[in-house]
Chain A
Amino acid sequence: MTTNDFYALSPLLAVGAAALAVMIGISVKRSMTATAGLTVAGLFVSFAMLFPAASIAPRIVTPLLVIDGYALFYMGLVLAGTLTVVLLSLEYLRDRGAHPEEYYILLLLAAFGSMTLVASRHFGSLFLGLEILSVSLYGLIAYVRGNEKGIEAGIKYLVLAAVSAAFLVFGMALVYTATGSLEFSRIGAGATPTDPLFLAGAAMIIVGMGFKLAVVPFHLWTPDVYEGAPAPVTAFIATVSKGAVFALLLRLAGPFHILDHPTLFTVFSVIAVGSIFAGNLLALSQGNIKRILAYSSIAHLGYLLVAFLAGGVKGATAATYYLSAYFVTTLGAFGVISLRSGRDREREYIHDYRGLAWRRPWLAGVFTAMLLSLAGIPLTAGFIGKFYAISAGVGSSLWFQVVSVAIGSAIGLFYYLRVISVMYAQPERHSGGRQAVARAISFGGGMILALLTLGLILLGVWPSPLIGLITRAVSGMN
């Protein structure tokens, strides 16, 4: 390896080093502040190293990893998402007592796995990245040991993730048999798309990734895990974990001829449309906001897949923009939930939000903005994202899928508006005592939410810089 290789890998190395440093730090002295500080510093250093890495990109480092503009963009997204989650977790963990320090190791490792995933060009690194991510998530989901739901969710995730990993590995083996290679680019060159062995392998890989993306019909774990996991961890699963896998899917699309192969194309269309309808329809009857967001995330992955199906630079750009907007929005929404959660329990039921707009106008305003962005209303990032996704779909004449997006977002309005109208309803008079318990939002938490909201609106009214960045990153892929 040359110096330049190290430069190219430096963002990844920085996060890995930070995880080690935190681990050693904890063994020396347990201090929540120091641990969190070290974590944040590691993430910042890693983010800063993206720029020197960008100057020598694209570069293939070992057969396993490729550091190109695309990987670096997604690494930036992963780092920003993780940083937000770290900051949201501070108070959440402080309220929940014992030993919050190891949480940060797991979070850093999960970020490390995600970054490996977005930079991988080989089944080996794909699997390593995915497993580092999954194993960290088992711990994170069940981290609050007093919470039975959390432990149940952790076990559920463990079992399903293990099954999906098994599918993935089997699929890889079949593809290897068919093509004789584990490198994406060589697989692309060696594959005959009609080979049943190759198709079976691809299908099993799709199953494995479908679990991670929580698309229909692999979505059954989502609501329970979203509900049971600590709110900041849920935010991480919803954004960073899914985003990294989706980035990988976009990277695989070319070599695997997903879009050229009629069967695979149909499979993805069915998954997309199924996710849109199942997610939106199931969200309608939920009374728990985390579950609503879980089902809505299934639908959003469906919209994303429509952009993905559009193919080409345009489709990838649209999908990446959508994902970036979704990051901001989802982190904001879960940010509100985690900052509102009290010592005893999370404020996750719709009725916890009754009249919030009149007691906490700013917080309710932030939550409203996030929900409207999820619904795709102008002035928010979600609007441009949805517009871009639909536009990519129309550009590739995917009328059926696009009409599904249209109908799905109309259904989606029902449950987003339900939460919003509860927030703006008259507060219940008799419950004044209980609401007095709810704490004020700390300065730091407020700042994060303010920044996310600002980003949301900025992406909604002035998207061209980000679109430019993404277009450059995506066109450099492969």
Chain B
Amino acid sequence: MTVEWLILIPLIGGVLAWIGGRRSSLLPRLISVASLGAGLAMTASLWNASPPVAGRTAGQAWIAEFNTSWIPQLGIGFHLGLDGLSLLLVLLTFFLGIVGVLCSWNEIKERTGFFHLNLMLVLTGIVGVFLSLDLFLFYFFWELMLVPMYFLISIWGHEKRAYASVKFFIFTQLSGILMLLGILGLYFIHGRSTGIYTFDYTQLLGTRLTPGQSLWLMLGFAAAFAVKLPAVPFHSWLPDAHSEAPTAGSLILAGLLLKTGAYGFIRFLVPLFPDAVESVRLIGMVLSAAGILYGAALAFSQEDLKRLIAYTSISHMGFVMLGIFAWNELSLQGAVIQMVCHGFSTGALFVLAGILQARLHTREMSAMGGLWAVTPRMAGMGLFFGLASLGLPGLGNFIGEFLVLLGSYRVSGLVTAAAATGLIASALYSLRLMQRVFHGPKRDDLTMADIAVRETTILAVMAAVIVVIGLYPGPVLETSKPAVEGLIQKGNPSLTPPGRGPGAVKPGGESSGEMLR
């Protein structure tokens, strides 16, 4: 009943904010925060009201569902479903959305109404992607995210905004059309073999495909998700888009948009084409490990603060992808935690970079240095999120990376070993970031205000979430557990009759809960 409102609330809020923007520049901000807050509260209440884990079997993981016909002639339905996985990501979306509005409170001075309309539309699209259970609807929301994001970058972005926004748009649009071809191929193959032409995810699962069909369709989907994630050869839009976007744009790109790619892998790609994914599993894992190391190496050599953070995203999302391709409960749970924590830690780093840029009018790290003396509070926050980013034990990102490595070790020890060296690399770039920005000699003429109450509050709440997940990840893991278990069954070619196949991949299931308790 309520799940469709999770999409409508940001949409309506965005339109109201736009209208409100004609009266004052304060109104859109208040409306956006209020509607996102309402969405957050509604999601949280769904979380609270969801039946206990024990009461749900792996197959029926939906906490809430909504299904109505949309374009019946083509078998398109408006089918939404919320399970533990999407619940966590929707929570993240609303939370980071609020952060996005708050952190652009002073940064965006012109056309605030239109800015907030775009911001809310991006969030609407993202929530829609996390909830869609109809492949057409999914594609619809997938594409819907692009235009407002394009506007966010191209209107309120920095110097090279035109280049960055067009590059972002074309990369994602082209890969999206390839996914559409994959979707349509699946639709027709399913329709011909069963006589039912439908885009419904639950019905398309388990479509019989020949290995060739499966591989090509899988590649179509993978193109879209790999560009969004981004996986390494398809990442070149990311540093430009991230560094040219306004703070809220970078935050949403890194915190949420990249997650839609990972979500697509988990929800659609592997369950729909388990055999094809099995056949490219090692390649996927090698690419992930390459992404981890490549992102880290490039992050280490950046001079532009936002570009540096952008490259760390590539590295961190490599862990998510590694967890997905390893495809067992440990690694997937790790990927989920990593997605959530990366949203917070990288998002916070972008907020910090935005604050620095607003005060220093540059993103060059050579113009910074010694800020610890000038702005101790900001520096403290920077240290915290830098440490979170390098995976310090006790913080959420560590749990994510650790679980991913643990899970992927069962599949390939060699790749995991290579990926694990990424942890060292992340320590290198995080510490270099700290050293260049906050330590070292201070430029004499450098004065600036420390972060204000609003900024401190945002960052402190984000830090608190990372600490809580780091110390007590149980609730998060339990929320996603039924969803992840269900997906693993669907996506595992070796378990064709569910639960009766060889138990080779099963052991992860039992241990993850115990180990973390």
Contacts and interface: CB of A to CB of B under 8 A. Distances in A.
Contacts of B70: 464
Q: Does more than half of chain B's interface fall in helix, strand or loop, or is it mixed?
A: helix
A421 interface: yes
A409 to B, nearest CB: 6
Interface in B457-477: none
Contacts of A390: 177, 180-181, 184
B449 interface: no
B110 to A, nearest CB: 9
Interface stretch (B145-153, B244-252, B355-363): B145-153
A413 B71 contact: no
A378 B140 contact: yes
B321 to A, nearest CB: 24
B72 A417 contact: no
Interface in B155-178: 155, 162, 165-166, 169-170, 173-174, 177-178
B151 A424 contact: yes
Contacts of B74: 388, 391, 467
A395 interface: yes
Contact of A406 (B150, B162, B169, B181): B181
B73 A417 contact: no
Interface string A366-403: 00000010000111000100011011001100000011
A421 B165 contact: yes
Interface string B334-374: 00000000000000000000000000000000000000000
A465 B241 CA distance: 40
A63 interface: no
B73 A467 contact: yes
A447 interface: no
Given A378-B143, A464-B73, A407 B174 contact: yes
Given A406-B174, A413-B169, A379 B184 contact: no
A189 interface: no
A379 B128 CA distance: 14
A137 B467 CA distance: 72
Interface in B54-101: 70-74
B508 interface: no
Contacts, number: 73
Interface string A435-478: 00000000000000000000000000001100110010000000
Given A394-B184, A424-B154, A467-B74, A377 B174 contact: no
Contacts of A377: 143-144, 146-147
B165, B178, B184: most-surrounded residue (chain A CB, <10 A): B184
Contacts of A421: 154, 162, 165-166
Contacts of B184: 390-391, 394-395
Q: How big is chain B's contact interface, by range?
A: 20 to 34
Given A417-B169, A464-B71, A471-B73, A394 B174 contact: no
A390 B188 CA distance: 12
Contacts of B143: 377-378, 383
A181 B146 CA distance: 54
A379 B144 contact: yes
B170 A413 contact: yes
A410 B173 contact: yes
A409 B188 contact: no
B73 A410 contact: no
A265 B150 CA distance: 39
A402 B177 CA distance: 10
A414 interface: yes
Nearest to B155: A424
A465 to B, nearest CB: 10
Contacts of B178: 406
Nearest to B216: A399
Contact of B181 (A372, A383, A388, A402): A402
B122 to A, nearest CB: 13
Contact of B72 (A402, A424, A464): A464
B185 interface: yes
Contacts of A358: 111
A406 B72 contact: no
Given A379-B144, A424-B154, A410 B166 contact: no
B174 A417 contact: no
A82 B17 CA distance: 38
B154 A410 contact: no
A4 to B, nearest CB: 31
Contacts of A406: 174, 177-178, 180-181
A48 B240 CA distance: 55
A394 B188 contact: yes
A395 B197 CA distance: 11
Given A467-B71, A467-B74, A394 B140 contact: no
Nearest to A392: B184
Interface in B284-298: none
Given A464-B70, A467-B74, A387 B147 contact: no
A417 B181 contact: no
A313 to B, nearest CB: 11
Contacts of B140: 378, 383
B132 to A, nearest CB: 12
A313 B38 CA distance: 47
Contacts of A471: 73
A377 B180 CA distance: 13
Interface in A48-86: none
Contact of A372 (B147, B154, B180, B185): B147
Nearest to A394: B184
Interface in A397-431: 402-403, 405-407, 409-410, 413-414, 417-418, 421, 424
A387, A424, A471: most-surrounded residue (chain B CB, <10 A): A387
A51 to B, nearest CB: 23
A471 B165 CA distance: 39
Given A378-B144, A409-B177, 8 more contacts: A395-B188, A402-B181, A406-B178, A406-B180, A409-B173, A410-B170, A417-B165, A421-B166
Interface of A: 358, 372, 377-379, 383, 387-388, 390-391, 394-395, 402-403, 405-407, 409-410, 413-414, 417-418, 421, 424, 463-464, 467-468, 471
Interface of B: 70-74, 111, 136, 140-141, 143-144, 146-147, 150-151, 154-155, 162, 165-166, 169-170, 173-174, 177-178, 180-181, 184-185, 187-188
19 contacts: A378-B141, A388-B74, A390-B184, A391-B187, A394-B187, A394-B188, A402-B181, A406-B178, A406-B181, A409-B173, A410-B170, A410-B174, A414-B170, A417-B165, A421-B154, A421-B162, A421-B166, A424-B151, A464-B72
Cβ-closest 3 pairs across A and B? A410-B174, A394-B184, A406-B177
